[in-house]
Copies of this chain bind each other. A is one copy, B any other.
Amino acid sequence: MRRFVIVGRTAKASADFSLDDLPSSSGRLDVLLRCVRAALLTSHGLRSDVLVYLVLGGSESPRVVRLGGAGLQFVRPDERSLALLVRKALERHAGGAGFVEQKPGLSVADGGLERVLADLGGACAYVLEEGAPDVRASSLGGDDLAFFIGDHLGFDETVRSELARLGALPVSVGPLSLHSDDVVTIVSNELDRRLTRGLSVPDPSPGRS
């Protein structure tokens, strides 16, 4: 399983945003939605082995939206369609313990990052950070991987501390500071290449740490 956790600092946890002015009215949910496309969709296909968590931390009562490629159907790649998908799920969500399924492959939970951490199981955690060791040279061990990625504002100190406590290993995707969805794309591509080469387990080849 590949898990991408996109931590939104300003994204609203409620459905009261406008599709006609998504960035402003939703607290930049658009940043997170673009990550959904990058993580879940290939050309004319859905990645069945991927889970995406959107942490909506811009409201007093945060929520997490979880989307899984194994359950979802007919996901369209454009932002407006993705916004509609998430808005409907937020509208329907009436609370409950843990993740509550709103439609196949789409669940919502009350709470913030702690909800994601409780859902990770034994996944190996990585955190995307500028200047960290290159993901191409990282072993990325195991078959269950979780990548934590910040939004347009990056992580706040509380999240940083939680990820450090979790033991998330810092990795980077290159020399420039990129949009969150580009980071998802580049990490996905690295994993795709390794799977094809049979390197989903730790890579023992020389030159990789």
Contact = CB atoms under 8 A, between A and B. Distances in A.
Interface string A1-44: 00000000000000000011011000000110010011001111
Contacts of A179: 37, 41-43, 77
B182 A196 contact: no
A189 B177 contact: no
A168 B94 CA distance: 55
B42 A78 contact: no
Contact of A152 (B30, B31, B43, B192): B43
A159 interface: no
A159 to B, nearest CB: 17
Given A38-B182, A176-B192, A182-B189, 6 more contacts: A43-B177, A77-B179, A173-B189, A174-B189, A175-B193, A175-B196
Interface in A23-75: 23, 30-31, 34, 37-38, 41-45
Contacts of A34: 37, 77
Contact of A174 (B20, B23, B177, B193): B193
Quickly give the copy total for this chain.
2
Contacts of A160: none
B178 A42 contact: yes
Contacts of A188: 182
Q: Which 5 A-B pairs have the closest CB atoms?
A: A43-B177, A175-B196, A79-B79, A185-B185, A30-B78
A88 interface: no
Contacts of A115: none
A27 to B, nearest CB: 13
A103 interface: no
9 contacts: A23-B76, A23-B78, A34-B37, A43-B152, A44-B152, A173-B189, A174-B189, A176-B192, A181-B185
Contacts of A45: 177
